[in-house]
Amino acid sequence: MARMKFLCDADRCIECNACVTACKNEHEVPWGINRRRVVTLNDGRPGERSVSMACMHCTDAPCAAVCPVNCFYTTADAVVLHSKDICIGCGYCFYACPFGAPQYPRVGNFGSRGKMDKCTYCSGGPEPDFSVAEYEKYGSNRLAEGKLPLCAEMCSTKALLAGDGEMIAEIYKQRVVKRGYGSGAWGWKTAYRETVTI
């Protein structure tokens, strides 16, 4: 079975935010909730780096571990999803996530922050595939149609790669060899406990 991962090639990312826009549009994500975002390091200086970051779907996900109601589950493709019906909006998953992926519809922690929302690798949630309930709660389910996440599909420079971990690592390695440099697979060490060796 494929082990799905994201790899953002920070040497190609131009901070166009197409990935962010694609995700927001496809899943009708409300304002204030950022499933995917672009973070720019050394902004305005030579060697400016931009990295597109969303949920990395970690191996041994810390969000799933700290959840007091165990609302997370990992699919056969190693995608980390959760159930908004069981979620109590406590906020622990945000503290545990190294990448700041969980998002909440409300700001204060009283009367519930609302149900946690995060990148689903475009594979919906526990509701039946392609149902309206699934779309309303989690967004569209592209993986069940055999498609890859829209953020990676829409990336203007093909900086953001999504797919089977080994395949995208291979693509990245080839790029690094061809151009002679590469800043590495950002977040892989923390998320998957492995780096892409070149």
Partner 1 sequence: MKAFLIALVAAVAIAFGASVVLSGNQQLAYQKFATSGVRISEPGTNLVGHKWNGDPTPADFTNETREKAEDARADSKGS
Partner 2 sequence: MRSALKLLSTLVVAVTLAGAPVAVGAAFAQNPTQIGENPSGDNPTADSVNEEYLFKQDSKIHGRVTIPDKKAANLIQPQGREYRAFHEQSLPWIAGVVILGMIVALAAFLLIKGRMASPRSAEKITRYNAFERFNHWMTATCFIVLALSGLNYIFGKRLLMPLIGPDAFGAASQLAKYAHVYLAWPFMLGVLTMLFVWVKDNIPNRIDWAWLKAGGGVLGGHAHAERFNAGQKVIFWMVVGFGLAMGFTGIAMLFPFALVDVNGMQLMQIVHASIGALFIAGILLHIYTGTVGIEGSFQAMGSGEVDLAWARAHHDLWVEEQQAKAAGGPRLKGHPQPAE
Task: Confirm or reject binding of residue 145 to partner 1 (CB under 8 A).
Answer: yes
- Per-residue binding string, partner 1, 54-83, x by CB under 8 A, is ------------------------------
- CB distance 10 to 49 below 8 Å: yes
- Least distance from partner 1 to the Cβ atom of residue 35, Å: 12
Give how far Cα 153 sits from Cα of 20, 23, 62, 156, Å.
12, 10, 27, 9
Q: How far apart are the first and last CA of the chain?
A: 24
Which residue, 95 or 130, is less far from partner 1 as judged by CB?
Answer: 130
Q: How many CB atoms lie within 10 A of CB 144?
A: 14
Among 25, 28, 69, 156, contact with partner 2 (rule: CB under 8 A):
69
- CB distance 33 to 113 below 8 Å: no
> Taking the mean position of all CA atoms in its chain, how far away is CA 107?
21
In the complex, the residues that contact partner 1 under the rule CB under 8 A are 28, 30-33, 103-108, 110-111, 114, 128, 130-133, 135-136, 141, 145-146
Q: Which residues bind partner 2 (CB under 8 A)?
A: 11, 17, 32, 34, 37-43, 46-49, 51, 53, 62, 65-71, 83, 85-92, 94-100, 107-113, 176, 180-184, 186-187, 189-190, 198
